[in-house]
Amino acid sequence: MVRAEADAHARAVLAKATRENFPVAPGFLPREWRDDLMAVYGYARLVDDIGDGDLAPGGRDAKYLGLGPDWGIDQGADRLAMLDAFEADLRRLFDRGTTPPGHPLLQALAPTISRRGLTPEPFLALIEANRQDQKVRRYADHAQLLQYCELSANPVGHLVLAITGTSTPERRRYADDVCTGLQIVEHLQDVAEDLSRDRIYLPAQDMARFHVTEADLAAPSANASVRALLAVEAERARLLLSAGDPLVASVNGRLKLLLAGFTGGGRAVLRAIRRAGYDVLPGPPRATTRGLLREVAATLRREG
């Protein structure tokens, strides 16, 4: 009964992959790659859910982490404590000879870590990014935002390369551009949602340049200043995705298609944002499947 509950809980977290801007583990990949990518996705998704306070009701995650059934996640301190507990559970995967982790998503991650020889650093960075989210609510300039993305986004690219056996220093640098670009695209989609969490990922320096206030971001729709600001930030994201294009060119076969899906997904969302006139405040613009496929094809043509 306990195992069935844990498996169902893990599946519920993994099901969120269908809401992402790009295919996480498409069916054309080898089965082991798909399994490993989904294990890493489940980890990253759960860390974000802890940091955002989005865990499902019932306290199952707290129970798996040994925090007790009444543990709450409404306050920032509670989230920090849960992130600490999750890190301690993660470390059990890497500390040989200790008890196994209690959380089912970490248990599912164990074969991937063993099979791919993964190190703890990228996993720990994702936890640290969510700790930062509890403490840092605004970013002074673009450079500060890039530093945040080094924790919140770039480790995922490193893990993808490690899983596919294609990691090199040069590819990791290109992957950093892609992952940072994708993170900024997501921030642009979610301006209203992030503000509801008292977070703003638009650099304060740029907001001042365009005379955008926090009240402007809380409006039902974007005024001309907000749209102009979003257009500039979208162009920055586009340039980052383009800077990562050599990553797609450096690989072949199904991996090339997967990576083109990542960059194409980001470009398709940027197209949707542009099509919405850079008014993201009513809700996040989403790419259509057709738009995603068009951008993937364009990426492959550029690299072909």
HEC per residue, the chain: CHHHHHHHHHHHHHHHHHHCCCCCCCCCCCHHHHHHHHHHHHHHHHHHHHHHCCCCCCCHHHHHCCCCCCCCCCCHHHHHHHHHHHHHHHHHHHCCCCCCCCCHHHHHHHHHHHHHCCCCHHHHHHHHHHHHHHHCCCCCCHHHHHHHHHHHCHHHHHHHHHHCCCCCHHHHHHHHHHHHHHHHHHHHHCHHHHHHCCCCCCCHHHHHHCCCCHHHHCCCCCCHHHHHHHHHHHHHHHHHHHHCHHHHHCCCHHHHHHHHHHHHHHHHHHHHHHHCCCCCCCCCCCCCHHHHHHHHHHHHHHHC
Number of Cβ within a 10 Å radius of residue 22: 24
Average model confidence (pLDDT) across the chain: 90
pLDDT, tens digit, 9 for 90 and up, residues 109-122: 999 999 999 999 99
Average pLDDT over residues 78-82: 89
Chain segment 41-57, per-residue pLDDT in tens = 999 999 999 999 887 65
pLDDT at 75: 47
**Residue whose C-alpha is closest to residue 50's, from 67, 62, 63:** 62
Structure tokens at 81: 């404590």
pLDDT tens track for 221-256? 999 999 999 999 999 999 999 999 999 999 999 999
pLDDT-derived band at 301 (thresholds 50, 70, 90) equals: confident
Between 65 and 74, where is the model more confident?
65
How sure is the predictor about 16, in pLDDT bands with cuts at 50, 70 and 90? Answer: low
Q: Is it the case that residue 80 has pLDDT exceeding 70?
A: yes
